[in-house]
């Protein structure tokens, strides 16, 4: 997947004692077809990754097919009247893993683990109706545990040294 940027994220967390566990990052998108076009003029998909291994093959990625989504939710022919779409999902909360929706192809593996360390690829693709990619915006999310910053360790060591020095001087 050609990547337009790489982002760092933390592993999952519990946001409060009563909340679900979740990833500390979301997948967000905004699509605006300018110049009078609509979704009926293109094939637009969001490809997403549940596999934390690096360089996941594109054939193993999940697919949100916007044309199918618009037709499923708005009725046959609805994509001819829609030129914008936006959304934001946390991968854990199930929307991208719902194989019962006709516009979702669930990736391999079929469940997202918010505590899995690794790389996750995401791409928004625009294809011509007859085939052939017209454009792609893709990112890579590196999920890592956040180590204790070295500056805090140095500061703590320095403070302990000052306390020890003061006790000897007293």
In order of their start, the domains of the chain are 6-169 (2.60.40.2550)
DSSP letters, the chain, are ---S-EEEE---EESSTTSPEE-S--EEEEEE--TT--GGGEEEEEEE----SSS--GGGSEEEEHHHHHHHHH-TTGGGG--EEEEEE-GGGSGGG-TTSTTEE--SSSS--TT--EEEEEEEEEEETTS-EEEEEEEEEEE---PPPHHHHHHHHHHHHHHHHHHHH-
Q: What per-residue confidence (pLDDT) applies to 130?
A: 85
| For residues 25-48, average pLDDT | 90
Q: What per-residue confidence (pLDDT) applies to 1?
A: 40
Q: Which pLDDT band holds residue 2 (cuts at 50, 70, 90)? A: very low
**pLDDT tens, residue by residue, 106-160:** 998 878 887 788 888 889 999 998 889 999 888 888 888 665 555 556 556 665 6
Instruction: With a cut of 90, say whether residue 23 has pLDDT above it.
Output: no
Q: What per-residue confidence (pLDDT) applies to 153?
A: 60
Contact 134, 37 (CB under 8 A): no
């Amino acid at each position: 997947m050609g990547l337009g940027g790489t982002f760092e994220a933390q592993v999952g967390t519990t946001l409060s004692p009563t909340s679900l566990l979740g990833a500390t990052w979301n997948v967000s998108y905004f699509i605006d077809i300018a110049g009078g076009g609509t979704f009926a003029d293109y094939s637009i998909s969001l490809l997403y990754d549940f596999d934390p291994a690096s360089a996941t093959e594109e054939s193993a990625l999940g697919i949100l097919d916007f044309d199918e989504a618009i037709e499923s939710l708005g009725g046959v022919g609805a994509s001819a009247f829609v030129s914008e779409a936006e959304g934001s999902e946390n991968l854990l909360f199930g929307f991208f893993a719902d194989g019962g929706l006709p516009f979702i192809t669930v990736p391999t593996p079929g469940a997202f683990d918010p505590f899995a360390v690794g790389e996750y690829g995401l791409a928004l693709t625009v294809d011509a109706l007859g085939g052939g990619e017209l454009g792609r915006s893709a990112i890579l999310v590196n999920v890592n545990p956040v180590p204790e910053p070295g500056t805090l360790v140095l500061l703590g060591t320095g403070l302990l040294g000052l306390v020890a020095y003061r006790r000897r001087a007293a």
